[in-house]
Structure 1
Amino acid sequence: MPDALIAGALTAGFWGLLGGSALVMGAVVAYATSLPQRLVAAVMAAGSGVLISAVAFDLMDDAFRQGGAMPTALGFVAGAVAYTAANVVISRRGGRHRKRSGTNPAARQSDAAGGAAMAIAVGALLDGVPESVVIGISLLDGPGVSLVTVAAVFLSNIPEGLSSAAGMKAAGRSAAYIFGVWGGIALASGAAAVVGNLALAGAAPSVMAGVTAIAAGAILAMLVDTMIPEATDQAHEYSGLIAASGFLIAFILSRLGD
């Protein structure tokens, strides 16, 4: 394997791990402190806005420029359908409320004694992998990683880890389980970035566009299913304004990176 390819893959792994480490940071904060639930929801709303901006102005825009409308549209729909199908399976096994903080009795994670630990862990992995693959791909489209994409993933992962870890703690799960899940997903994020970088090195523009759009579709489906409900459940009428603020910040960052 050429040295340049190895170096690119290792760089992708570093940035993917960095983005995934924000999940651990959020979990640490949730486990060590008892934050007001409206603050948790507000941070979740801001993270949702950041990721929506990344999907619209980075992922989909890049996919369209690389491969045109057809690969982008097909990939986007495929990503949303694939995520939804996998999420349905995981939800039926107890992972439905894996990103919820646990304050709403109707949207709590399954109790530690309920046997849904694996479904919650797999569901969290399902939510994080598409973002990391995009980070790995972004290194193939220029001289360096897309810092805007990394920033969007990092900023959105903090509230994800924060809310979900709070829900795990409320459900009675141990510190070993909580940090084992998020530490493992951080490592998996690095690995996913490496795989994305290696698998698509030298791929045709239409293939790159399709894979980028698949990730975009999966991320948007994840947002609507897991992050936005938690934000609106606690932040109520302010969640839209907070999400719009996160969107605007990410949009400005993406334009400054042009």
Structure 2
Amino acid sequence: MLEAAFWGGVGGAALLLGAAAGIWLPVSTRVIGLVMGFGTGVLFSAVAFELTEEAFSRSGTLAVVLGLLGGALTFFLGDWFLDNRGGHRRKNPEGMHPDAGPLALVLGALLDGIPESAAIGISLVGGSGIGIAVLVAVFISNVPEALSASSGMRADGISIGRIFGLWGAVTAASTVAAALGFAVLGDADPVVVATTQSFAAGAILTMLSDTMVPEAVKYAGRWVGLVTVVGFGSAFLLSALA
């Protein structure tokens, strides 16, 4: 459990790195869009080969289908709730909706990050060691996410201390999510583990399609397709060689 918490914290710490870059580095919105596209490709690969394929190997088709649908629906409903409060612009480097409050930022970051962190903890189930591809995917995707959102928060006039406080809280939640992902499923039935893996995969896929890809394309245009493939291919090679 402590190992899962540690690796969850490592993945979540990328949020702090991205926040620092978004606040202090003169990064253009085009570059942010390209980095988001690369991170999207990396996560797509992790979802396909480290979560969905592994879940299918554990328990077959039914658990995968139910988990994917459950994760997608859960994220969809949570995201719909936040959209109505201005949270749909939480990854926008130019700032959020003027009516969006801190609660939308916090809940949005948690909604995006917890399934990824839980996936890190789940990858340790079975005693095979940390899923390197999952960890790298989460770390790489967290950097542009926090970079973009932090740029937007600064544009909205939110203080640096408050921004880092937000990402610090999300990093702590990510650590807990990874630990729980391992602790709850460590001795669970393979069907339960497979369904949970698929649930995380469904939530992550929905998040990518709903929030990451649109923002990336908006700011980097057609080049996003190419860098997404590069990200996917890089993560696939890492998974295959791990």
Give the TM-score category using the shorter length. Answer: over 0.9
Residue 203 of structure 1 aligns to a residue in which SS?
Answer: coil
Distance in 2 between residues matched to 1:142 and 1:43, nearest whole Å = 33
Q: Tell me the residue number matched to 1:74.
A: 66
Displacement, 1:237? 1.3
Provide the C-alpha distance between the structure 2 equivalents of 1:222 and 1:172, rounded to a whole number of angstroms: 26
Where structure 1 has 5 or more consecutive residues not aligned to the other structure, the ranges are: 1-8, 103-107
User: TM-score, structure 1 length as denominator?
Assistant: 0.92
2:50 counterpart letter in structure 1: D
Aligned length: 242
1:230 & 1:27 partners in 2: Cα distance? 17
Deviation at 1:47, TM superposition (A): 0.3
Aligned to 2:47: 55
**What CA distance in whole angstroms lies between the structure 2 residues aligned with 1:127 and 1:185?**
10
Residue matched to 1:169:
154
Q: Structure 1: which amino acid aligns with 2:89?
A: H
Q: Secondary structure at the match of 1:93?
A: coil
CA distance in 1, matches of 2:76, 2:161: 29
2:181 match = 196
Match of 2:11 in 1: 19
Q: Which residue identity is paired with 1:88?
A: W
AA at the equivalent of 2:146: G
Of 185, 189, 197 in structure 2, the residue corresponding to residue 212 of structure 1 is 197
- Higher alpha-carbon deviation: 167-176 or 46-55: 167-176
Q: Does 1:89 align with 2:81?
A: yes
Selected match of 1:146 from 128, 131, 140? 131
How far apart are residue 68 of structure 1 and its match?
A: 0.5
Determine if contact 2:39/2:228 at 8 Å carries over to the other structure. yes
**Superposition CA RMSD, Å:** 1.0
Tell me, in whole angstroms, the C-alpha distance in 2 between the residues paired with 1:136 and 1:237.
Answer: 35
User: 2:15·2:145 contact (CA, 8 Å) conserved in 1?
Assistant: yes
Per-residue deviation, residues 218-243 of structure 1 (Å, max 9, x unmatched): 00000011111111001111110011
Match among 173, 179, 185 for residue 170 of structure 2: 185
Identity of aligned residues (%): 44
Give the structure with higher Rg (CA).
Answer: 1
Give the Cα–Cα distance (whole angstroms) in 2 for the partners of residues 141 and 225 of structure 1.
32
Give runs of ≥4 in structure 1 deviating > 4 Å. Answer: none
Contact 1:31 1:169 survives alignment (8 Å)? yes
AA matched with 2:63: P
**2:25 corresponds to which of 33, 42, 48:** 33
Deviation at 1:115, TM superposition (A): 5.2
Give 3-state SS (helix, strand or coil) of 1:141's partner.
Answer: coil
- Residues 152 and 214 of structure 1: is their aligned pair in 2 closer, same or farther, counting only changes over 3 Å? same
Q: Give the secondary-structure state (helix, strand or coil) at the position aligned to 1:144.
A: coil
Q: Distance in 2 between matches of 1:192 and 1:12?
A: 9
Paired letter, 2:72: A
CA distance in 2, matches of 1:74, 1:115: 33
Distance of 1:66 and 1:168 partners within structure 2:
42
Which residue identity is paired with 1:53? S
**Unaligned ranges ≥5, structure 2:** none
Q: How big is the shift at 1:208?
A: 0.3
Indicate if the aligned counterparts of 1:100 and 1:226 stay in contact, CA closer than 8 A: no
Name the structure 1 match of 2:96: 109
Quote how far apart the aligned CAs of 1:34 are: 2.0
Matched, 1:126 2:118: no
